[in-house]
Amino acid sequence: MAFIRTSKRSTPYEDQKPGTSGLRKKVTVFKQPCYVENFVQATFDALGEKVKGLIIVVSGDGRYFSKDAIQIIIKIAAANGIKEVWIGQNGLLSTPAVSAIIRNRVGPHGEKARGAFILTASHNPGGPQEDFGIKYNTENGGPALESLTEKIFSITKTITKYHIADGINDVDISKCGTHSFTGPDGPFNVVVFDATEDYVKLMKSIFDFGAIKNLLSRPEFSFCFDALHGVSGIYAQKIFVEELSANPHFLVNCVPKEDFGGGHPDPNLTYAKELVHRMGLGKMVPTEKIPEFGAAADGDADRNMILGNRFFVTPSDSVAIIAANAVGAIPYFKTGLKGVARSMPTSAALDVVAKALKLKLFEVPTGWKFFGNLMDAGMCSICGEESFGTGSDHIREKDGIWAVLAWLSILAHKNRGVPRGGKLVTVQDIVRQHWSTFGRHFYTRYDYENVDAGAARNLMAHLVNLQSSLSDINSMIKEAKLNVARVIRGDEFEYKDPIDGSVSKHQGIRFLFEDGSRLVFRPSGTGSEGATIRLYIEQYQSDPSKIGVESQVALAPLVEFALKLSKLEAFTGRASPTVIT
Ligand code: G6P
Ligand code: ZN
């Protein structure tokens, strides 16, 4: 079918600044006239002449408005000289799968995709009144770097027209197949394919599926995976049930829904309610037997949460434990790790492992893109963040299902000598063993969501001021007889990328204590309404007799001090956080 290119007049929007993970707004905002068109055109303009003849991927977590956005992007791509658009069946592809596709999928003539529009607002709710998002990833499979997103933003502020194909009707994305068109730049194809095949192939090349299958076949082992109605459900079905023969009963909420079933697709103890209940961590005692292992992923399947029977594994511990066990348990890492990395607010549990294994450790600002540069340079194999992101250099995004397979691999490895029917080494055993070897980093995060933006700014300014009065802070600790160590440093985290030399400033305010404890304050970069303040609290304990204490109990004095120091309630009017993880 033939189409022509038409240029349509448009007026700019002022608010199309992509955040840490793309442009994220309410659906009602995206539905404004030309809102999507402007942003997509600005992205092509920012990429410049090199978009001509490229293949791009377009898909996402299936949230409300995705299907409309896909049809718009197809037509704008065609009019901008893109040669082919690759789409997962029904417009579904997880964020990690998109990254894998950019890096590995090869078209019939040997070409690869050079970029992707990922349609997701990650862990934010979906639906007509909720969030939507568009994120652009580049040829290494990772999120666009700030230089590109800044360029896109500046173009959105002055854009006056966009190009769109006239003559392409809505493409049926519910069936696999190729739709061919001809336009002013030559042939243009829309290729719809199975959303799971590339990703499953990659996972099979990383993990020992035989060993995991063996674990899952043990009658004494059971697990539960909660997709929170996000896109991970289709990968869970394929990998856990079809490839690894798990009991389908192990999967909950694995049918993707446009509104995530009305829930909040964020895998944490507050929002993954059903999983938390089944794993015996809820208010009610579950009626069914509690599984040995539980996991959840967020809307676009890049985040994960790992649980044991009545046991929560903090994301900071999770990455440290994966790093400590990777070489023996995961074939992909059998020749050793190149280095490890964590974001600044993530606990130092990984640092202790890195030291013991003589690995280089990188501390980067919050945001997965910072890991990408290290991985491209061959300096980092495994990385993770406190915000439930864990991953490796197999792709350039964090990867929820990968993290679950990593834990299943560790469980399989630790249980390889245990006879069938014998007492299994559990998630809890693995974590406790890790703490007794490396010490424990008690850790908690308090989130104050949707705080007034002005109040949040004042709070941060107050904290910056405090950095120059450490002696006052220490007198305050003494006077109030607070059971915490002395503060020895207060600063704002700044990072110089070792590869491109770029400097990222104002990445969070830190108070560092003599005993290694840390308090970190940071405004969230991913919210879509008001401001969210995050307070991260960490304390190291190497005495094996003290590592078993409940974390909120162990951290209570530091929490009390943090709230006093920051005057958080006075600034924000909030007596307690909205979410504690
Ligand atoms: C996204 C990014 C993560 C980052 C997180 C932080 O999920 O991909 O790399 O850690 O946002 O979110 P925040 O709301 O704390 O800025
Ligand atoms: Zn996500």
**For the chain, how many helices (H) and strands (E)?**
18, 26
The pLDDT > 70 percentage for the chain reads 99
- pLDDT tens digits along 451-474: 998 999 999 999 998 888 888 888
Residue nearest to atom 4 of ligand 1 (CA): 367
pLDDT at 527: 65
Given pLDDT bands bounded at 50, 70 and 90, which one contains residue 200?
very high
Instruction: Give the start-to-end residue ranges of the domains of the chain.
Output: 4-195, 199-438, 440-580
Cβ-based neighbour number of residue 202 at 10 Å: 23
Report pLDDT for 201.
98
CA quadruple 97, 401, 60, 192: dihedral positive or negative? positive
- 319 pLDDT exceeds 70? yes
Query: What is the distance between the alpha carbons of residues 316 and 309, in angstroms, rounded to a whole number?
Result: 19
Does the structure show a pLDDT above 70 at 528?
Answer: no
**Mean pLDDT taken over the chain:** 94
The radius of gyration of the chain's CA atoms, rounded to the nearest angstrom, is 24
What's the length of the chain?
581
Q: Which helix (H) or strand (E) holds 429?
A: helix 427-438
Q: Which CATH number fits domain 4-195: 3.90.1300.10, 3.40.120.10, 3.30.420.40, 3.40.50.2000?
A: 3.40.120.10
| Sign of the torsion formed by the C-alpha atoms of 222, 227, 229 and 232 | negative
Q: Is 581 in the pocket of ligand 1 (CB under 6 A)?
A: no
* Tens-place pLDDT, residues 201-254: 999 999 999 999 999 999 999 999 999 999 999 999 999 999 999 999 999 999
Confidence of residue 534 (pLDDT cuts 50, 70, 90): very high
Q: Which residues are catalytic?
A: 122
Residue whose Cα lies nearest atom 9 of ligand 1: it is 367
Query: pLDDT digits over 407-447, tens only?
Result: 999 999 999 999 988 999 999 999 999 999 999 999 999 99
Query: Distances in Å between the alpha carbon of 12 and those of 34, 35, 69, 157?
Result: 9, 8, 18, 5
- Cα 60 to ligand 2 centre (Å): 11
pTM score above 0.90:
yes
Quick check: 226 and 252 in contact, CB under 8 A?
yes
Would you say the CATH fold of 199-438 matches that of 4-195? yes
Ligand 1 atom closest to the CA of 386, numbered from 1: 10
- Give the separation between CA 576 and CA 574, rounded to whole angstroms: 5
Enter the CATH code of domain 440-580. 3.30.310.50
Which residues, at least 6 apart from 478, have a Cβ–Cβ distance to it below 8 Å? none
Q: Which atom of ligand 1 is nearest to the CA of 367?
A: 9
Strand-pairing partners, residue 181, are: 188
503 in helix, strand or coil? Answer: strand
Compute the average pLDDT of residues 359-371: 93
Mean pLDDT on 388-399: 97
- Which tokens belong to 249? 């009963």
pLDDT tens, position by position, 100-132 = 999 999 998 899 999 999 999 999 999 999 999
Cβ(180)–Cβ(108) below 8 Å: no
What number does the ligand 1 atom closest to the CA of 368 have? 9
Model confidence band, residue 543 (pLDDT cutoffs 50, 70, 90): confident
Provide the pLDDT for residue 481: 77
User: Considering the chain, what percentage of its residues have pLDDT values greater than 90?
Assistant: 84
pLDDT tens digits for range 343-352: 999 999 999 9
User: Which pLDDT value is given to residue 497?
Assistant: 92
Distance in Å, CA 240 to ligand 2 centroid: 20
Judged by DSSP in three states, 364 sits in strand
Asked if residue 124 has its Cβ within 6 Å of ligand 1, the reply is no
What pLDDT, on the 0 to 100 scale, is given for residue 20? 67
Q: Quote the ligand 1 centre to 316 CA distance (angstroms).
A: 14
CB 213 within 8 A of CB 34: no
Residue 544 confidence (pLDDT): 86
Give CA–CA dist 192/178, Å, rounded.
6
Among protein residues, the one whose CA lies closest to atom 2 of ligand 1 = 367
- Phi, psi angles (nearest 5°) of residue 385: -135, 155
> Into which CATH architecture does domain 199-438 fall?
3-Layer(aba) Sandwich (3.40)
Which tens digit of pLDDT belongs to each residue from 495-526?
999 998 989 998 999 999 988 889 999 998 77
367 pocket-lining for ligand 1 (C-beta < 6 Å)? yes
Task: Output 144 or 484, whichever has higher pLDDT.
Answer: 144
